[in-house]
């Protein structure tokens, strides 16, 4: 789901060159080239890819870089904390085997790219597409069934590795606070508040009923908090040519909460990209049962109450779609009378999981609306 990008590539090359010169003491002949602003960065942050060149002590150096830029106005979420993302990725990249990109810089001054941003190393590889979904086209479908299976299972192993991280030892225990959504109670409250903010006072029976059900049926013993990536899905992983996860991206929803929250999100997003859009599960990709079995085998942890956590994931994604619908209407990508906030693949699936009536209005997806 993408709106029109606001960053001009040519201007960004100039401003990034000046900015980088001040960030690299002792470097000369600093220059930024090959600036690219992907057309489908999303409704959240904007992405800028570029190559940095400089000389130091007579030797030329080159580094591919990626800037992740916070929205300079209203976004999918009420606020953005790039410093939090950067601290998590840096801790993982420097101290663990989790394939997190190396953080190179952070910048709070909006004068450079219009909003605060972080810069990470560029990791070579391919990312499964969300629009169109990788289940309907693209390089993933060009793989053999065995390769797709290998890609999927290795990705589940990455989830287990993230959850096994000693977050206290890495100095990430600040994520325990309610401010950062630490613990299941805080997560449920945080997403309920986001839904109320996103709907702007408008009724949304499906999501309202879902949050009511979630509160009434919340697991009483969710288990220990572990590091949750937050937006766990293959569309946020860069894969090398041999289908090995090379980099885990997009940590803006990172938190400390029980691992089932992460698995519920993973399972629901896969349901969204298959059943939700009427696409079959590509041959070779394991279904939910095998996915769960692989995670339990790798992590040594038995998952519980996964239906509740998948409903929670559905309520979260449907809430994001409420906000996305408003942004797309405001951006001219949807007509003012669009019913996307009420009826979209996420809300349809959510209603199905709970046996609720189908949402009213015409079903509208963000896919293809750009």
18: left (phi over 0), alpha (psi -120 to 50) or beta: alpha
> What b/e string do you get for 22-44 counting C-beta neighbours within 10 Å, with b at 16 or more?
eebeebeebebeebebeeebbbb
Rg (CA), the chain: 21
Active-site residue (options: 130, 231, 250, 305): 231
Helix (H) / strand (E) element for 226: namely strand 226-228
Phi, psi (rounded to 5 degrees) for 3 = -105, 175
Q: In whole angstroms, give the CA distance from residue 272 to residue 316.
A: 13
Q: Is 250 a catalytic residue?
A: no
Q: In whole angstroms, give the CA distance from residue 208 to residue 281.
A: 30
26: left (phi over 0), alpha (psi -120 to 50) or beta: left
Query: Which of 61, 6, 58, 57 has the alpha carbon at shortest distance from 31?
Result: 61
Active site residues: 231
């Amino acid at each position: 789901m993408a709106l029109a990008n606001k960053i001009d590539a040519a201007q960004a090359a100039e401003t990034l060159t000046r900015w980088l010169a001040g960030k690299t003491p002792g470097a000369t002949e600093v220059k930024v080239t090959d600036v690219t602003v992907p057309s489908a960065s999303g409704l959240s942050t904007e992405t800028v890819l570029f190559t940095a060149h400089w000389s130091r002590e007579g030797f030329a150096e080159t580094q591919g870089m990626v800037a992740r830029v916070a929205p300079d106005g209203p976004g999918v979420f009420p606020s953005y904390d790039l410093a939090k993302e950067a601290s998590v990725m840096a801790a993982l990249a420097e101290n663990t085997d989790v394939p997190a990109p190396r953080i190179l810089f952070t910048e709070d001054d909006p004068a450079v790219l219009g909003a605060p941003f972080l810069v990470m190393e560029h990791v070579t590889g391919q990312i499964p597409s969300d629009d169109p979904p990788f289940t309907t086209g693209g390089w993933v479908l060009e793989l053999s069934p065995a390769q797709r299976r290998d890609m999927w299972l290795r990705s589940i192993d990455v989830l287990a590795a993230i959850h096994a991280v000693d977050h206290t030892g890495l100095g990430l225990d600040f994520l325990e606070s309610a401010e950062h959504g630490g613990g299941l109670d805080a997560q449920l409250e945080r997403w309920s508040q986001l839904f109320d903010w996103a709907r702007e006072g408008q009724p949304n029976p499906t999501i309202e009923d879902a949050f009511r059900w979630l509160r009434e049926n919340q697991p009483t013993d969710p288990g220990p908090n572990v590091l949750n990536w937050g937006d766990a899905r293959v569309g946020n992983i860069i894969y090398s040519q041999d289908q090995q996860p090379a980099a885990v991206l997009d940590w803006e929803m990172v938190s400390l909460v029980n691992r089932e929250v992460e698995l519920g999100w993973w399972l629901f997003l896969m349901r969204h990209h298959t059943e939700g859009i009427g696409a079959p599960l590509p041959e070779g990709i394991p279904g939910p049962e095998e996915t769960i079995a692989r995670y339990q085998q790798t992590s040594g942890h038995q998952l519980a109450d996964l239906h509740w956590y998948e409903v929670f994931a559905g309520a979260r994604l449907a809430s994001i779609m409420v906000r996305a619908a408003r942004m797309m209407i405001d951006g001219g990508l949807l007509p003012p009378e669009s019913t996307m906030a009420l009826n979209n693949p996420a809300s349809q699936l959510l209603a199905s999981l709970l046996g609720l009536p189908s949402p009213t209005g015409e079903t509208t997806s963000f896919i293809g609306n750009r």
